[in-house]
Amino acid sequence: MSLSSNADARSAKLKTSFQKLTAASTKLNLVSGAFGEAVRALDDALSKLNPGIEAWVTTARLSEDDTPWEADIHQLGFTRLRLGWGLAISRYHYDENLEERTNYQSWDFNDAPRELRIEAINHIPLLVDELAKEAEKAANRVAEGATLAQELAKIITANVINKDERR
């Protein structure tokens, strides 16, 4: 085979590969746009509920066999973001021996790297469940706090009224 025919074969292969990449990229960007819109709608729905609490679920825990106490952790959460509450993705390195989290990164869901968004999408039902549990816990704590506040208000009000009557 001549040098020219090798170059022609490589060129043809490159052209075919580039055409495949173009088609795949076009499709990926199209479905990513639809994916992003669906997540925005879900994000809006969760934000309108206004739970005002944070919840996270782990979407991946990646560790090496020789260092199982260290892992790269990927999480999906509902948290306070720059512009209010919403869905977020984070990743960090965790060392169980040191109980230390390093290399922390987080993004609004639709700003996260594509592979993390794809990984996270199947965990949204788990996040909603975790958010419901955290909201229930918070509601119970607030109810207990309200009861205590009402009791304190009665005591303080009664003492103020008694003090005024003594004057």
104-139: pLDDT as tens digits: 999 999 999 999 999 999 999 999 999 999 999 999
Q: At 6, is the pLDDT very low, low, confident or very high (cuts 50, 70, 90)?
A: confident
pLDDT band at 166 (very low <50, low <70, confident <90, very high): low
Residue 90 tokens read as 């984070």
Flag the least confident range among 4-8, 21-25, 126-130.
4-8
| Angstrom distance (rounded) from CA 63 to CA 49 | 36
Rounded-to-integer distance, Cα 122 and Cα 66, Å: 29
The pLDDT value given to residue 73: 96
pTM: 0.77
DSSP state of 51: -
Confidence grade of residue 48 (pLDDT, cut at 50, 70, 90): very high
Query: Taking a C-beta distance cutoff of 8 angstroms, is the pair 64, 74 a contact?
Result: no
Q: Which of 136, 29, 35 is CA-nearest to residue 87? A: 35
Q: Over 60: is that where the pLDDT of 142 sits?
A: yes
Whether the pLDDT of residue 3 is over 70: the answer is no
Q: Kindly list the domain boundaries of the chain, sorted by start residue.
A: 51-166
Q: Which two tokens stand for residue 100?
A: 């230390």
What is the DSSP code string of 97-151? TTTEEEEEEEEEGGGS-HHHHHHHHTTHHHHHHHHHHHHHHHHHHHHHHHHHHHH
